[in-house]
Amino acid sequence: MAITTTLFPGRYLQGVGAMKTVGKEALRFGDNALLIVDPYILKNVFSGVRPLVEKSVALHVEQFGGECSDEEIERLSEICKRNGCNVVIGMGGGKTLDTAKATAFSLRLPVVIVPTTASTDAPCSALAVIYTKEGQFKRYLPLPQNPNLVLVDTEVIANAPVRFLIAGMGDALSTYFEAESCHQKYAPNMSGNVGSFTAYALARLCFDTLMEYGPAAKIACETKVVTPALERIVEANTLLSGLGFESGGLAAAHALHNGLTVLEDTHEYYHGEKVAYGTLASLFLTDKPMHTIDRVYTFCEIVGLPTTLSGIGLSKVSDAELMKAAEAACAEGETIYNEPVPVSPEAAFNSLKAADAYGRQRKLMQH
């Protein structure tokens, strides 16, 4: 029998006004905090709660430089040491949070993660994705522990651009399919052991939540109001998708995403938008039944996720370029080999093309 591992964040806190409690909550772990924060969030969101936070902990505020790179992590670690901080708080988007996790790890400090968008499944994970200074995928940095606390203020999410929430649904859309592939193949999750029943069940709940509440959550976010549907989708994008991918495992959708990032024209599109496209392609790669394929395309069309290559900036991509992405998706050690089907660069290329052709055909039929 295989050994299973399930990974959880230490605590998960979500709700309207949660950000007001970040100082009080961080004090569980340290009284002198380095806050790594997106410049926009610092100015427009954090300034309102800053006095309240500073009542609980000493705060050293540092703006995030824009890329989760080795250089940026080293810069922030130095600042942390110089100021004698004993807890790191990351506040902002996925790359800011990964940088906070990696910085905390380099100094063996506890970390509090405060996502200000629900755009990826990264917040809860014991993983940081390291990019080059230029924004190309470089490597995964596995961490020995998940964040001590993940704190999500739903009001902040509701006031963020809706494209973030949609991208988060794209990232969450991959979770069930990738976890299910790993389950079938006894492929390892992010811990190196196989996933638990808990993980596979949560991945399924993630998918069902998206299908049922995704469209209503999108409308709530467009209207900048918090509804129960929005709460559900924020939890699905952040907690369920995080537990699902990390404890369930990754497969083709994220490998295809990584492959697509070698094409420069995709760089202005969000992680979750490319993962959504990778998910659609993976449905063809893994020979899913047509009713499943149609259900996922319909969902993407309703919430506004890309269903064609032009939807991720590749309207003029040549076959030779697309083949480069397919080859990168099939690089040694990539999670595409967790699929229970034969995999090759040609098969990956064909699935990327098939997903595009089907997306375009459906668009034509709707007009």
Cα(76)–Cα(87) distance, rounded to whole angstroms? Answer: 13
Q: Write each residue from 118 to 147 as x if it is in contact with Zn ion (CB under 5 A), else as -, in one continuous string.
A: ---x--------------------------
Cα(217)–Cα(228) distance, rounded to whole angstroms? Answer: 8
Residue 194 or 276: which CB sits closer to Zn ion?
Answer: 276
Enumerate residues 62-101 that contact Zn ion by CB under 5 A: none
171 is catalytic: yes
- Give the CA diameter of the chain: 62
Cβ 271 to Zn ion shortest distance, Å:
6
Cβ 352 to Zn ion shortest distance, Å:
18
171 lies in the site for Zn ion, by CB under 5 A: yes
Residue 22 to residues 42, 44, 60, 113, 174, Cα–Cα distance (Å): 14, 17, 14, 10, 30
**Of 260, 253, 256, 273, the residue nearest 321 (C-alpha):** 260
Residue 25 or 178: which CB sits closer to Zn ion?
Answer: 178
- Rounded to a whole number of angstroms, the CA Rg of the chain reads 20
* Count of C-beta atoms within a 10 Å radius of residue 126: 20
121 is catalytic: no
Q: Write each residue from 254 to 293 as x if it is in contact with Zn ion (CB under 5 A), else as -, in one continuous string.
A: ----------------------------------------
β-bridge pairing 127-131 and 137-142: antiparallel
267 is catalytic: no
60 is catalytic: no
Q: Report CA 199 to chain centroid distance, whole Å.
A: 17
Residue 278 or 359: which CB sits closer to Zn ion?
Answer: 278
Cβ 230 to Zn ion shortest distance, Å:
20
Of the candidate spans 64-72, 79-87, 114-122, 287-295, the one that interacts with Zn ion by CB under 5 A turns out to be 114-122
- CB of 99 within 8 A of CB of 90? yes
Q: Shortest Cβ contact with Zn ion: which residue?
A: 171
Of the candidate spans 12-20, 52-60, 165-173, 201-209, the one that interacts with Zn ion by CB under 5 A turns out to be 165-173
Active-site choice (38, 98, 153, 257): 257
Residue 25 or 121: which CB sits closer to Zn ion?
Answer: 121
Cβ 82 to Zn ion shortest distance, Å:
33
Of the candidate spans 49-57, 68-76, 115-123, 283-291, the one that interacts with Zn ion by CB under 5 A turns out to be 115-123
Of the candidate spans 80-88, 168-176, 216-224, 287-295, the one that interacts with Zn ion by CB under 5 A turns out to be 168-176
**Of 45, 29, 193, the residue nearest 116 (C-alpha):** 45
* Count of C-beta atoms within a 10 Å radius of residue 2: 9
Active-site choice (38, 98, 183, 271): 271
Length of the chain: 367
Active-site choice (38, 98, 153, 171): 171
How many chain residues touch Zn ion (CB under 5 A)? 2
Of the candidate spans 28-36, 49-57, 71-79, 167-175, the one that interacts with Zn ion by CB under 5 A turns out to be 167-175
Cβ 254 to Zn ion shortest distance, Å:
6
Cβ 237 to Zn ion shortest distance, Å:
10
Residue 242 or 359: which CB sits closer to Zn ion?
Answer: 242
Residue 270 or 297: which CB sits closer to Zn ion?
Answer: 270
Residues serving a catalytic function are: 171, 254, 257, 271
Question: Which residues contribute to the site for Zn ion (CB under 5 A)?
Answer: 121, 171
